[in-house]
Structure 1
């Protein structure tokens, strides 16, 4: 059985700078420049967290042509104010994970600089449970983005996944390690992340 480990959280925005500003305002700490993802025509900024986690501010890259497939994180359909849209979980064996969760897409191989990884992406770009199923990632090699980012002193206290089918989502996923995660049954699906920061407790939505 493929174990899930919380890897990072992603805030989507209509622009990368808007997503970055949303995180920086919420947590009171600056992000670092990330890079581009050519296969999906997106780009990001990053912030290192404690305990091996990190935050990602991501958007469509307007400076490159549209890809020949749907973008990940359902960014083709994103609009409105920046918000926490995805919680990405790492798996030790992508092939085994795709056998267990057959409807989460196919493995796409990516690289950026020294980073090399696979991400499970549906052809539609939309993950199960209205996109609140976590994108699955497997890192290859010893390097992880958190190791490349400066320490912010910010740590994730708890992630809340609110969804009308929260119990079913939790049962489908099974045990998740890496950080405390709470599933809450709610009419409107949303993600809420509580942090401990040098400035006191902060919340990112």
Structure 2
């Protein structure tokens, strides 16, 4: 049985500036520079949410080559020019990405090597670059041995206390989490039912120096 853990949450945006504005409005702080992903033509901003949990703002890098030979991850190619920034998906950490991928009840794509600066990892990416299960199924990530990236980020006093999954088929989400060996994860994860016709979304509950805040991925 896999033993996956929540690694980070991802905000998709048409630009890093737009994503940073959403984070500042919701949490009262601005994410810090991350780096570039050469294989995907993207770049990011980062914000620590715990010892081994963080928030990522990710967007297409306008300075990167427009021809990367494949769809970008996290559905970035399908974003409209005026699309609102939102909490789009999450990433689950594993020590055996192939076994976790095989065990997952939802299709997550294939395992690919990735890098950002000196960091290297393996991650699952759907071939069409889409968000699995509307963003409620994670990308799986396996970091190279060493300190977790969150431990290298400044601690600005933020902490993720809960990630809530909203879906019209909550039993499907629960089955997916169970297949990854992370049902509930000590209260960090909760699944809620949506009425039919509503798009699935995530909500992150985060303690900040200004009090508890909610970062929602609902499409309005």
Q: Paired residue for 1:37? A: 37
Name the CA distance, whole Å, in 1 between partners of 2:161 and 2:107.
30
Give TM-score scaled by structure 2 length. 0.88
> Match for 1:146 among 130, 150, 159?
150
Tell me, yes or no, if structure 1 residue 58 matches structure 2 residue 58: yes
Name the CA distance, whole Å, in 1 between partners of 2:170 and 2:45.
30
Shift of 1:136: 0.7
Q: Paired residue for 1:25? A: 25
Name the CA distance, whole Å, in 1 between partners of 2:41 and 2:141.
18
1:162/1:185 contact within 8 Å kept: yes
SS of 2:17's equivalent?
helix
Structure 2 unaligned regions, length at least 5: none
Name the CA distance, whole Å, in 1 between partners of 2:9 and 2:142.
15
Give TM-score scaled by structure 1 length. 0.94
Name the CA distance, whole Å, in 2 between partners of 1:78 and 1:109.
24
2:36/2:117 contact within 8 Å kept: no
Shift of 1:127: 3.9
Rate the CA distance shift 1:178–1:126 in 2: closer, same or farther, 3 A: farther
Shift of 1:178: 7.4
Tell me, yes or no, if structure 1 residue 155 matches structure 2 residue 159: yes
1:10/1:58 contact within 8 Å kept: yes
Structure 1 unaligned regions, length at least 5: none
Mean Cα deviation higher: 160-169 or 99-108: 99-108
What is the total number of aligned residue pairs between the two structures?
205
